[in-house]
Amino acid sequence: MANPATSWSTSHSDSSRWGGIFDVEGLQHTVDRLTHESLRDGFWNNQEVAQRIMKERSAAEQTVTSFTKLRTEVSDLKDLLELAASEGDEDMAAEVAGSLEGLEARTRALEVQRMLGPEDNEDAILMINPGAGGVDAQDWAEMLLRMYLRWCDKHGMKTTITSRQAGDEAGIKEAHVHIAGPYAYGYLRAENGVHRLIRISPFDSNARRHTAFASVRVVPDLDNSITLDGVELRDEDLEIDTMRSGGAGGQHVNRTESAVRIKHVPTGFVVRCESERSQHQNKDHALKMLRGMLFEKLRRDQEAAFEEAFMGDRADIAFGSQVRSYTLQPYTMVKDERTDHKDANAAAVLDGDLDTFIETYLLSNADKRRAKENAKKAD
Protein backbone atom coordinates (compact mmCIF):
# COMPACT_ATOMS: atom_id res chain seq x y z
CA MET A 1 0.00 0.00 0.00
CA ALA A 2 1.31 3.45 -0.86
CA ASN A 3 2.59 5.67 1.91
CA PRO A 4 0.48 8.87 2.03
CA ALA A 5 3.51 10.98 2.87
CA THR A 6 5.62 9.78 -0.06
CA SER A 7 2.75 9.92 -2.56
CA TRP A 8 1.75 13.48 -1.62
CA SER A 9 2.43 15.71 -4.63
CA THR A 10 1.31 18.85 -6.43
CA SER A 11 1.82 20.07 -9.95
CA HIS A 12 4.68 22.43 -9.05
CA SER A 13 5.69 22.14 -5.40
CA ASP A 14 8.01 19.36 -4.18
CA SER A 15 7.49 19.01 -0.44
CA SER A 16 10.06 16.20 -0.23
CA ARG A 17 12.78 18.86 -0.32
CA TRP A 18 11.97 20.06 3.17
CA GLY A 19 14.85 18.00 4.58
CA GLY A 20 13.60 18.03 8.17
CA ILE A 21 11.88 20.72 10.18
CA PHE A 22 15.12 21.84 11.91
CA ASP A 23 17.15 22.02 8.69
CA VAL A 24 17.04 25.82 8.82
CA GLU A 25 19.36 26.26 5.85
CA GLY A 26 17.25 23.88 3.77
CA LEU A 27 14.04 25.59 4.85
CA GLN A 28 15.42 29.01 3.95
CA HIS A 29 16.32 27.60 0.53
CA THR A 30 12.70 26.43 0.22
CA VAL A 31 11.45 29.93 1.09
CA ASP A 32 13.75 31.52 -1.48
CA ARG A 33 12.86 28.96 -4.16
CA LEU A 34 9.11 29.32 -3.70
CA THR A 35 9.38 33.11 -3.50
CA HIS A 36 11.19 33.09 -6.85
CA GLU A 37 8.57 30.76 -8.30
CA SER A 38 5.72 33.00 -7.13
CA LEU A 39 7.21 35.90 -9.11
CA ARG A 40 7.06 34.05 -12.43
CA ASP A 41 4.62 35.22 -15.09
CA GLY A 42 1.35 33.29 -15.01
CA PHE A 43 1.92 32.02 -11.47
CA TRP A 44 -1.64 32.85 -10.39
CA ASN A 45 -3.27 31.36 -13.49
CA ASN A 46 -3.87 28.15 -11.52
CA GLN A 47 -5.28 29.41 -8.24
CA GLU A 48 -5.27 26.05 -6.41
CA VAL A 49 -1.63 25.29 -7.18
CA ALA A 50 -0.55 28.89 -6.49
CA GLN A 51 -2.27 28.95 -3.12
CA ARG A 52 -0.69 25.61 -2.19
CA ILE A 53 2.79 26.89 -3.07
CA MET A 54 2.25 30.06 -1.04
CA LYS A 55 0.98 27.98 1.86
CA GLU A 56 4.11 25.82 1.77
CA ARG A 57 6.29 28.93 1.60
CA SER A 58 4.49 30.49 4.57
CA ALA A 59 4.92 27.33 6.67
CA ALA A 60 8.65 27.13 5.88
CA GLU A 61 9.17 30.82 6.58
CA GLN A 62 7.28 30.61 9.87
CA THR A 63 9.43 27.67 11.01
CA VAL A 64 12.67 29.48 10.08
CA THR A 65 11.52 32.58 11.99
CA SER A 66 10.46 30.58 15.06
CA PHE A 67 13.68 28.57 15.19
CA THR A 68 15.88 31.64 14.69
CA LYS A 69 14.02 33.54 17.40
CA LEU A 70 14.25 30.57 19.76
CA ARG A 71 17.98 30.16 19.16
CA THR A 72 18.55 33.87 19.80
CA GLU A 73 16.53 33.71 23.01
CA VAL A 74 18.51 30.71 24.26
CA SER A 75 21.77 32.54 23.56
CA ASP A 76 20.57 35.68 25.34
CA LEU A 77 19.42 33.72 28.40
CA LYS A 78 22.75 31.91 28.52
CA ASP A 79 24.62 35.23 28.50
CA LEU A 80 22.35 36.63 31.24
CA LEU A 81 22.82 33.51 33.37
CA GLU A 82 26.60 33.75 33.06
CA LEU A 83 26.43 37.43 33.96
CA ALA A 84 24.22 36.74 36.97
CA ALA A 85 26.63 34.03 38.15
CA SER A 86 29.69 36.24 37.79
CA GLU A 87 28.05 39.14 39.66
CA GLY A 88 26.16 37.04 42.17
CA ASP A 89 22.91 38.69 41.09
CA GLU A 90 20.15 36.44 42.46
CA ASP A 91 17.34 38.61 41.07
CA MET A 92 18.71 38.29 37.54
CA ALA A 93 19.14 34.54 37.99
CA ALA A 94 15.52 34.27 39.16
CA GLU A 95 14.39 36.27 36.13
CA VAL A 96 16.24 33.88 33.81
CA ALA A 97 14.71 30.89 35.60
CA GLY A 98 11.26 32.41 35.19
CA SER A 99 11.79 32.60 31.43
CA LEU A 100 12.67 28.93 31.10
CA GLU A 101 9.09 27.62 31.31
CA GLY A 102 7.95 29.61 28.29
CA LEU A 103 11.14 28.71 26.46
CA GLU A 104 10.58 25.03 27.17
CA ALA A 105 6.99 25.22 25.89
CA ARG A 106 8.08 26.84 22.61
CA THR A 107 10.89 24.32 22.20
CA ARG A 108 8.42 21.47 22.76
CA ALA A 109 6.06 22.98 20.19
CA LEU A 110 8.85 23.01 17.59
CA GLU A 111 9.76 19.44 18.51
CA VAL A 112 6.14 18.40 17.93
CA GLN A 113 6.11 20.23 14.60
CA ARG A 114 9.23 18.30 13.63
CA MET A 115 7.13 15.13 13.97
CA LEU A 116 4.69 16.39 11.35
CA GLY A 117 5.16 15.78 7.66
CA PRO A 118 4.28 17.89 4.61
CA GLU A 119 0.97 16.03 4.36
CA ASP A 120 0.04 17.36 7.82
CA ASN A 121 0.18 20.99 6.70
CA GLU A 122 -3.41 20.95 5.49
CA ASP A 123 -6.59 22.61 6.61
CA ALA A 124 -8.83 20.26 8.55
CA ILE A 125 -12.44 19.16 8.45
CA LEU A 126 -13.76 18.37 11.93
CA MET A 127 -16.86 16.18 12.30
CA ILE A 128 -18.61 15.62 15.65
CA ASN A 129 -21.46 13.15 16.25
CA PRO A 130 -23.16 12.15 19.52
CA GLY A 131 -23.26 8.46 20.45
CA ALA A 132 -24.71 6.52 23.35
CA GLY A 133 -26.24 8.68 26.06
CA GLY A 134 -29.33 10.28 24.58
CA VAL A 135 -29.75 14.00 25.24
CA ASP A 136 -26.60 13.97 27.39
CA ALA A 137 -24.63 12.75 24.37
CA GLN A 138 -26.04 15.51 22.19
CA ASP A 139 -25.15 18.07 24.86
CA TRP A 140 -21.68 16.51 25.13
CA ALA A 141 -21.20 16.82 21.37
CA GLU A 142 -21.93 20.55 21.63
CA MET A 143 -19.46 20.86 24.52
CA LEU A 144 -16.79 19.24 22.34
CA LEU A 145 -17.62 21.62 19.50
CA ARG A 146 -17.10 24.57 21.83
CA MET A 147 -13.83 23.05 23.11
CA TYR A 148 -12.36 22.74 19.62
CA LEU A 149 -13.55 26.19 18.56
CA ARG A 150 -11.82 27.65 21.62
CA TRP A 151 -8.60 25.72 20.84
CA CYS A 152 -8.65 27.02 17.28
CA ASP A 153 -9.24 30.57 18.48
CA LYS A 154 -6.26 30.36 20.86
CA HIS A 155 -4.05 29.22 17.99
CA GLY A 156 -5.26 31.84 15.53
CA MET A 157 -6.99 29.35 13.25
CA LYS A 158 -10.02 30.35 11.19
CA THR A 159 -13.12 28.23 11.73
CA THR A 160 -16.26 27.95 9.60
CA ILE A 161 -19.18 25.80 10.74
CA THR A 162 -20.31 24.21 7.48
CA SER A 163 -23.04 22.00 8.96
CA ARG A 164 -24.85 21.96 12.28
CA GLN A 165 -27.99 20.06 13.25
CA ALA A 166 -29.58 20.99 16.56
CA GLY A 167 -30.50 18.28 19.06
CA ASP A 168 -34.07 17.44 20.01
CA GLU A 169 -33.87 18.95 23.52
CA ALA A 170 -30.33 20.28 23.78
CA GLY A 171 -26.95 20.05 22.12
CA ILE A 172 -26.37 18.93 18.54
CA LYS A 173 -26.96 15.88 16.41
CA GLU A 174 -24.05 16.70 14.15
CA ALA A 175 -21.53 19.42 13.38
CA HIS A 176 -18.95 19.89 10.63
CA VAL A 177 -16.29 22.59 10.93
CA HIS A 178 -13.71 23.70 8.38
CA ILE A 179 -10.49 24.74 10.16
CA ALA A 180 -7.86 26.78 8.31
CA GLY A 181 -4.38 27.31 9.72
CA PRO A 182 -0.81 25.98 9.65
CA TYR A 183 -0.77 22.23 10.34
CA ALA A 184 -4.43 22.25 11.39
CA TYR A 185 -4.89 18.65 10.27
CA GLY A 186 -1.50 17.53 11.64
CA TYR A 187 -2.35 18.67 15.15
CA LEU A 188 -6.05 17.89 15.29
CA ARG A 189 -5.75 14.36 13.90
CA ALA A 190 -4.64 13.52 17.45
CA GLU A 191 -8.30 14.04 18.43
CA ASN A 192 -9.73 11.30 16.20
CA GLY A 193 -11.80 8.84 18.19
CA VAL A 194 -14.58 8.44 20.73
CA HIS A 195 -14.65 10.86 23.67
CA ARG A 196 -16.43 9.89 26.92
CA LEU A 197 -17.99 12.25 29.48
CA ILE A 198 -18.89 11.27 33.07
CA ARG A 199 -20.90 13.82 35.07
CA ILE A 200 -24.06 14.54 37.04
CA SER A 201 -26.59 14.96 34.25
CA PRO A 202 -28.31 18.36 34.14
CA PHE A 203 -31.17 16.59 32.36
CA ASP A 204 -31.81 14.07 35.18
CA SER A 205 -34.30 15.34 37.77
CA ASN A 206 -32.78 12.89 40.28
CA ALA A 207 -29.27 14.33 39.73
CA ARG A 208 -27.74 10.97 38.93
CA ARG A 209 -24.37 10.43 37.30
CA HIS A 210 -24.51 9.69 33.57
CA THR A 211 -22.00 8.65 30.94
CA ALA A 212 -22.21 10.07 27.42
CA PHE A 213 -20.19 9.48 24.26
CA ALA A 214 -19.43 11.44 21.11
CA SER A 215 -17.19 10.71 18.15
CA VAL A 216 -14.67 13.15 16.73
CA ARG A 217 -13.40 12.71 13.18
CA VAL A 218 -10.70 14.93 11.72
CA VAL A 219 -9.65 14.62 8.09
CA PRO A 220 -7.54 16.81 5.79
CA ASP A 221 -9.19 19.25 3.41
CA LEU A 222 -7.65 18.05 0.14
CA ASP A 223 -7.92 20.23 -2.96
CA ASN A 224 -7.77 18.96 -6.52
CA SER A 225 -4.10 19.90 -6.99
CA ILE A 226 -3.09 16.97 -4.76
CA THR A 227 -2.77 13.44 -6.09
CA LEU A 228 -2.73 10.56 -3.62
CA ASP A 229 -1.84 6.98 -4.45
CA GLY A 230 -4.39 4.63 -2.94
CA VAL A 231 -7.11 7.28 -2.50
CA GLU A 232 -9.60 7.07 -5.35
CA LEU A 233 -13.27 7.96 -5.59
CA ARG A 234 -14.92 5.93 -8.34
CA ASP A 235 -18.42 6.81 -9.45
CA GLU A 236 -19.55 3.18 -9.17
CA ASP A 237 -18.59 3.15 -5.46
CA LEU A 238 -20.77 6.13 -4.58
CA GLU A 239 -24.44 6.32 -3.62
CA ILE A 240 -25.53 9.96 -3.93
CA ASP A 241 -28.85 11.25 -2.61
CA THR A 242 -30.23 14.78 -2.61
CA MET A 243 -32.72 16.23 -0.17
CA ARG A 244 -34.10 19.49 1.10
CA SER A 245 -31.91 21.42 3.50
CA GLY A 246 -32.98 21.93 7.09
CA GLY A 247 -32.30 24.71 9.56
CA ALA A 248 -31.79 28.43 9.13
CA GLY A 249 -31.16 29.86 5.70
CA GLY A 250 -34.03 32.05 4.57
CA GLN A 251 -36.48 31.33 1.77
CA HIS A 252 -34.03 29.05 -0.02
CA VAL A 253 -34.19 26.41 2.72
CA ASN A 254 -36.73 23.61 2.23
CA ARG A 255 -37.64 24.85 -1.26
CA THR A 256 -34.88 23.18 -3.28
CA GLU A 257 -33.12 19.84 -2.87
CA SER A 258 -29.68 21.37 -2.31
CA ALA A 259 -28.48 19.08 0.50
CA VAL A 260 -26.33 16.13 -0.59
CA ARG A 261 -25.68 12.80 1.12
CA ILE A 262 -22.94 10.50 -0.22
CA LYS A 263 -22.18 6.96 0.87
CA HIS A 264 -18.92 5.26 -0.07
CA VAL A 265 -20.06 1.67 -0.46
CA PRO A 266 -16.70 -0.17 0.01
CA THR A 267 -16.02 1.46 3.41
CA GLY A 268 -19.53 2.42 4.52
CA PHE A 269 -18.43 6.02 5.11
CA VAL A 270 -21.31 8.50 4.86
CA VAL A 271 -21.03 12.27 4.51
CA ARG A 272 -23.72 14.94 4.29
CA CYS A 273 -23.49 18.60 3.40
CA GLU A 274 -26.19 21.27 3.34
CA SER A 275 -24.25 24.43 4.21
CA GLU A 276 -24.17 25.86 0.67
CA ARG A 277 -27.10 27.18 -1.37
CA SER A 278 -26.03 25.22 -4.42
CA GLN A 279 -26.39 21.46 -4.72
CA HIS A 280 -23.19 21.43 -6.80
CA GLN A 281 -21.24 23.22 -4.05
CA ASN A 282 -22.61 20.88 -1.39
CA LYS A 283 -21.61 17.89 -3.49
CA ASP A 284 -18.07 19.23 -3.94
CA HIS A 285 -17.76 19.82 -0.20
CA ALA A 286 -19.11 16.35 0.62
CA LEU A 287 -16.63 14.74 -1.80
CA LYS A 288 -13.82 16.66 -0.12
CA MET A 289 -14.85 15.28 3.26
CA LEU A 290 -15.10 11.77 1.86
CA ARG A 291 -11.72 12.02 0.16
CA GLY A 292 -10.19 13.22 3.43
CA MET A 293 -11.74 10.29 5.30
CA LEU A 294 -10.27 7.83 2.80
CA PHE A 295 -6.86 9.44 3.22
CA GLU A 296 -7.13 9.19 7.01
CA LYS A 297 -8.08 5.53 6.71
CA LEU A 298 -5.12 4.90 4.42
CA ARG A 299 -2.82 6.65 6.85
CA ARG A 300 -4.08 4.67 9.82
CA ASP A 301 -3.86 1.43 7.91
CA GLN A 302 -0.23 2.34 7.19
CA GLU A 303 0.42 2.95 10.87
CA ALA A 304 -1.43 -0.25 11.87
CA ALA A 305 -3.42 1.98 14.21
CA PHE A 306 -6.60 2.62 12.28
CA GLU A 307 -9.76 1.38 13.97
CA GLU A 308 -13.01 1.27 12.04
CA ALA A 309 -14.86 2.28 15.20
CA PHE A 310 -13.37 5.76 15.03
CA MET A 311 -14.17 6.50 11.41
CA GLY A 312 -17.18 4.48 10.27
CA ASP A 313 -20.86 5.17 10.74
CA ARG A 314 -21.38 1.46 11.40
CA ALA A 315 -19.43 1.43 14.68
CA ASP A 316 -20.80 1.91 18.19
CA ILE A 317 -19.88 5.16 19.90
CA ALA A 318 -20.07 3.68 23.36
CA PHE A 319 -18.24 1.83 26.16
CA GLY A 320 -14.84 0.33 25.43
CA SER A 321 -14.06 2.42 22.35
CA GLN A 322 -13.09 5.79 23.88
CA VAL A 323 -9.72 7.44 23.28
CA ARG A 324 -10.21 10.01 26.03
CA SER A 325 -12.33 10.20 29.18
CA TYR A 326 -13.52 13.44 30.81
CA THR A 327 -14.60 12.82 34.40
CA LEU A 328 -16.44 15.65 36.15
CA GLN A 329 -17.98 13.60 39.00
CA PRO A 330 -17.10 12.40 41.64
CA TYR A 331 -13.71 14.04 40.89
CA THR A 332 -12.31 15.98 37.94
CA MET A 333 -9.84 14.34 35.61
CA VAL A 334 -9.25 14.15 31.86
CA LYS A 335 -7.31 11.05 30.79
CA ASP A 336 -6.11 10.04 27.34
CA GLU A 337 -6.50 6.27 27.15
CA ARG A 338 -3.84 5.96 24.42
CA THR A 339 -0.99 7.72 26.21
CA ASP A 340 -2.14 7.74 29.88
CA HIS A 341 -1.62 11.51 29.91
CA LYS A 342 -3.82 13.12 32.58
CA ASP A 343 -4.93 16.61 33.56
CA ALA A 344 -6.96 17.30 36.70
CA ASN A 345 -8.03 20.73 35.42
CA ALA A 346 -10.97 19.47 33.38
CA ALA A 347 -12.49 22.96 33.14
CA ALA A 348 -9.38 24.28 31.38
CA VAL A 349 -9.31 21.35 28.98
CA LEU A 350 -12.97 21.87 28.08
CA ASP A 351 -12.11 25.52 27.50
CA GLY A 352 -9.66 24.51 24.77
CA ASP A 353 -6.45 23.77 26.69
CA LEU A 354 -5.57 20.70 24.61
CA ASP A 355 -1.93 21.29 23.73
CA THR A 356 -0.38 18.82 26.18
CA PHE A 357 -2.77 16.05 25.04
CA ILE A 358 -2.03 16.71 21.37
CA GLU A 359 1.73 16.98 21.92
CA THR A 360 1.89 13.82 24.04
CA TYR A 361 -0.03 11.82 21.45
CA LEU A 362 2.06 13.00 18.49
CA LEU A 363 5.36 12.46 20.31
CA SER A 364 4.21 9.02 21.47
CA ASN A 365 3.35 8.04 17.90
CA ALA A 366 6.72 9.31 16.71
CA ASP A 367 8.50 7.25 19.39
CA LYS A 368 6.60 4.12 18.32
CA ARG A 369 7.50 4.66 14.67
CA ARG A 370 11.15 5.24 15.59
CA ALA A 371 11.22 2.07 17.70
CA LYS A 372 9.66 0.10 14.85
CA GLU A 373 12.23 1.45 12.38
CA ASN A 374 15.08 0.59 14.75
CA ALA A 375 13.70 -2.94 15.18
CA LYS A 376 13.62 -3.39 11.41
CA LYS A 377 17.23 -2.22 11.15
CA ALA A 378 18.25 -4.65 13.90
CA ASP A 379 16.67 -7.53 11.97
For range 261-268, the mean pLDDT = 86
Look at residue 313 and tell me whether its pLDDT is greater than 50: no
Domain boundary among 94, 118, 142: 118
DSSP string spanning 4-22?
A: HHHH-B-SS--GGGG--TT
What CATH number should be reported for the domain holding residue 62?
1.20.58.410
What domain range is 108 assigned to? 4-118
Confidence band, pLDDT 50/70/90 cuts, at residue 372:
low
In percent, the amount of the chain with pLDDT more than 70 equals: 79
For range 203-214, the mean pLDDT = 91
**pLDDT for the residue numbered 54:** 83
Looking at 137-141, 277-281, 329-333, which range is the least confident one? Answer: 277-281
170 and 265 belong to one structural domain: yes
Look at residue 89 and tell me whether its pLDDT is greater than 90: no
Cα 198 from Cα 137, distance rounded (Å):
11
What CATH number should be reported for the domain holding residue 209?
3.30.70.1660
**pLDDT for the residue numbered 307:** 42
For range 84-102, the mean pLDDT = 83
Domain boundary among 118, 143, 159: 118
For range 239-266, the mean pLDDT = 68
For range 94-106, the mean pLDDT = 81
**pLDDT for the residue numbered 190:** 93
* Angle 247-174-248 from CA coordinates, rounded to 5°: 10
Q: Mean pLDDT of all residues in the chain?
A: 80
Going by C-alpha positions, the residue among 120, 123, 144 that lies closest to residue 317 is 144
Cα 324 from Cα 18, distance rounded (Å):
33
226-235 per-position pLDDT tens digit = 555 666 778 8
In percent, the amount of the chain with pLDDT more than 90 equals: 30
149 and 103 belong to one structural domain: no
Look at residue 206 and tell me whether its pLDDT is greater than 50: yes
Look at residue 1 and tell me whether its pLDDT is greater than 50: no
183 and 309 belong to one structural domain: yes
98 and 20 belong to one structural domain: yes
For range 354-364, the mean pLDDT = 91
- Do 316 and 309 touch, CB atoms closer than 8 A? yes
CB atoms under 10 Å from CB of 355, counted, come to 16
